[in-house]
Amino acid sequence: MATHNDFGKEAENQAVKFLEAKGYQILDRNWVFQKAEIDIIAQDLSSNELIIVEVKARKEHSLTNPEDAVTKSKRNLLVKAANEYLISKDIQLETRFDIISLVKKQDSWKIEHIPNAFLSFE
């Protein structure tokens, strides 16, 4: 497997650990619909919301923030995929879109959780 794939998997695993520590239940990972892949689908048990999570990671000296890589076309694909997930699984929960932004500094991760991340783009 390519090094960047290993890096992405490691970042997703860190995001899952982070969400589980916050009390989220992970329902699915890497769920694919057409051209879209949802990195993590979780349920926030405290608010009973379905959370669609996009994980973005960079190494320490990157010129851009990880969350800046979530483009309008990516957001549109995620919304379509989330809609299909809700229909196919017959889920009737309020849904929000979060970004987990990770920056790897040597052997540690700086993790930023951005709830309702898509609202800031509207």
The pLDDT value recorded for residue 71 is: 87
In angstroms, rounded to a whole number, what is the distance separating the alpha carbons of residues 70 and 49?
22
Q: What is the pLDDT of residues 32-84, one digit of tens each?
A: 999 999 999 999 989 989 999 999 988 887 667 888 888 899 999 999 999 99
Query: Rounded mean pLDDT of the chain?
Result: 90
The DSSP code sequence of the chain is --HHHHHHHHHHHHHHHHHHHTTEEEEEEEEEETTEEEEEEEEETTTTEEEEEEEEEEETT-SS-GGGG--HHHHHHHHHHHHHHHHHTT----EEEEEEEEEEETTEEEEEEETTGGGGG-
Better pLDDT: 80 or 120: 80
Complete domains list, the chain, with CATH = 3-121 (3.40.1350.10)
* Residue 115 banded pLDDT, cuts 50, 70, 90: very high
Q: Which residue in this structure is represented by tokens 């930023």?
A: 112
Q: Which residue has the tokens 């851009």?
A: 64
